[in-house]
Amino acid sequence: MSDTKTPPPPRGRGSALKPDSRFAEWQREHFDDGWDDAAETQPSAPATTLTEDKARSVITFNRSPDVPFDRSINPYRGCEHGCSYCFARPSHAYLGLSPGLDFETRLIWKPDAAARLREELARPGYRCAPIALGVNTDAWQPVERRLGVTRAILEVLVETRHPVSIVTKGVLIERDLDLLANLAADGLAQVMISITTLDNALARRMEPRAPTPARRLEMVAQLQQAGVPVGVLMAPLIPALNDHELERVLEAASAAGAQMAGYVLLRLPRELRALFSDWLQTHYPERSAHVLNRLRELRGGELNNAEFGKRMRGEGVIADLYAQRLRNIARRLGLNRLRRELDCSHFRPPRQPSPQMDLF
């Protein structure tokens, strides 16, 4: 009988698996034929590769009734943070790439994203509403340091006075405090920092290339001091793994200056079911079955439920308890007291280049 145990993830990466795109004509499967000890050795760390995306537009519109925005921008496809739970992993299959290791090592970036954004905001029919920046993949992931796509997008938003909401765990957002503070002064920006745990060991395994929990709390403090409305999003909340930390995370965030707080229940669409199950078995074999069974309780017997209204929070007694815990801790800490609406009244379409000089 063959041993089909997968090898550990390469150093600094979140996934050991590399399942083929679901759209491929054939699928490969890991198999240990006994000729090597790959299951016992640490694979070498694969380098990150970049491919340019020459998209004609950068704003993506949605009609989802359970998300608080109808448009978003993702400067990158794929994410170097390598989070084991990332719901965006299956989107890499549309590129003919693996939602596993490819998602965190083969990135697609949009070098002319700022130029495309200017064109879209200048269209006569454009109607201003807050843009969510970096929803699928982190807009401030490590490669942004040398590519600068996200900062260029922010510069266009500052120029046009366009409101923006942000979710990130990337420390590089501190580089752009000048732009964010400029927007926040007119009620045009708010930021949610993703903090999933205060346990460094869990964070290192679950989010191998993301900043430490303590460093993310520093980011909260930096944004608050710069006058940028900031909150903390515990996303995902994972039953029997990090859900017991909800109160601790929010208490630490509040002490750092967070004014808002929320959570999103773990989502496991498509290939992510197998990817996350394998990660659990690799790192937490003794509780893997318990985590997945508890998740099924929250998902109507399945590992995932994409139904609007249930996909973010789950259903049943445990889901109700999570919601009650959030309300109680938020009330005690004074979080979520004010519902902030980003101001769209300052928007001014970008001026297109013209050979004619200004009169004044």
d(CA 158, CA 163): 9
Task: Kindly give the pairing relationship between strand 189-194 and strand 230-237.
Answer: parallel
Q: What is the pLDDT of residue 18?
A: 65
Contacts of 111 (CB under 8 A, 6+ apart): 52, 147, 149
Question: What tokens were used for 151?
Answer: 């900062």
Q: What is the pLDDT of residue 354?
A: 59
d(CA 90, CA 102): 11
Q: What is the pLDDT of residue 141?
A: 97
What topology is assigned to 49-333 in CATH? pyruvate-formate lyase- activating enzyme (3.80.30)
pTM of the entire predicted model:
0.88
Q: What is the pLDDT of residue 40?
A: 47
Q: What is the pLDDT of residue 357?
A: 54
Instruction: Find the radius of gyration of the CA atoms of the chain.
Output: 21
Helix intervals (H) in the chain: 101-105, 113-122, 144-147, 149-160, 177-184, 200-206, 213-225, 246-256, 272-283, 288-298, 317-333
Helix (H, G, I), strand (E, B) or coil at 113: helix
- For residue 107, report the phi and psi dihedrals to the nearest 5 degrees: -100, 145
d(CA 209, CA 203): 9
Q: What is the pLDDT of residue 340?
A: 80
Q: What is the pLDDT of residue 56?
A: 87
What is the chain's pLDDT, residue by residue, as a tens digit (360 residues)?
Answer: 334 456 666 677 777 676 666 655 545 455 444 444 444 455 567 889 999 998 889 999 999 988 989 999 999 999 999 999 999 999 999 899 999 999 999 999 999 999 999 999 999 999 999 999 998 999 999 999 999 999 999 999 999 999 999 999 999 999 999 999 999 999 999 999 999 999 999 999 999 999 999 999 999 999 999 999 999 999 999 999 999 999 999 999 999 999 999 999 999 999 999 999 999 999 999 999 999 999 999 999 999 999 998 999 999 999 999 999 999 999 999 999 987 899 999 999 998 665 555 555
Q: What is the pLDDT of residue 287?
A: 96
Question: What tokens were used for 64?
Answer: 């989802």
Domain limits, the chain = 49-333
